[in-house]
Structure 1
Amino acid sequence: MKIGELSRETGVAIRLLRYYEAQGLLAAERGEGGHRRYGPEAPVAVARIRALLAAGLPTRVIRSLMPCYSDDGTRLEPCVLDHLRDQAADLDTRIAELTEARAALGDILAAASGGPVRVGA
């Protein structure tokens, strides 16, 4: 399928599909005139990429995970689960740091305004 067809089928902008290809996440063959052609598995690959991006994984990590899918392309090999657990732990750390920063900002605002200030809600 051509890039426009893949874009319509997945709802992902052509520009993003080109980016995924440039990052090594999505493979395309070049047809006549250099036009990209994607195989029938491309929509599944795009859905997988979108899900992993939504999970907060960087493209370098996604690139390493793409070959690790098995079965119908929805199951990851057990060998990468530790890596994903590490990513989840990193997210937990970042969330804790952001929570502390938010509390500190609330304290600064409260001190500056002379009373309690609720931040973020």
Structure 2
Amino acid sequence: MDPVRDPTAEKIRIDKWLWYARFFKTRSLAAKQVSAGHLRLNGAKISKSAQSVTTGDVLSFPQGRQNRVVEVRGIGTRRGPAPEAQALYLDKTPKQDVVPANPRFEGKGRPDKKTRRALDLSRERGPT
């Protein structure tokens, strides 16, 4: 029998699993994300936090600035430490280039203290 589609396989509520796997700080935040319709289970959009997940299911949802894609590897029995939580899933999120939050381009943005002092000195000296 296929363990992924076995009807006797262990199941858990999706909001509880997201909380166990430490994707959300509280279970209510996980439930809000699900009920808002931002989560997909095996490609299908779901909106009920009572939806069950089993091992082998693929979840995709937005988290922060990226869209996470994870495969459920374990159900879990508690919200344990991070290494225990990371064993519950396999991260399939495509790797993205890291863009700095506030890039400094020449002539754009606020100058830092050192640059501001240099600008002030150049203005005091005047044209030569």
Give the TM bin, normalised by the shorter chain. 0.3 to 0.5
In terms of fraction of residues, the more strand-rich structure is 2
How does the TM-score come out when normalised to structure 1?
0.36
In terms of fraction of residues, the more helix-rich structure is 1
How does the TM-score come out when normalised to structure 2?
0.35
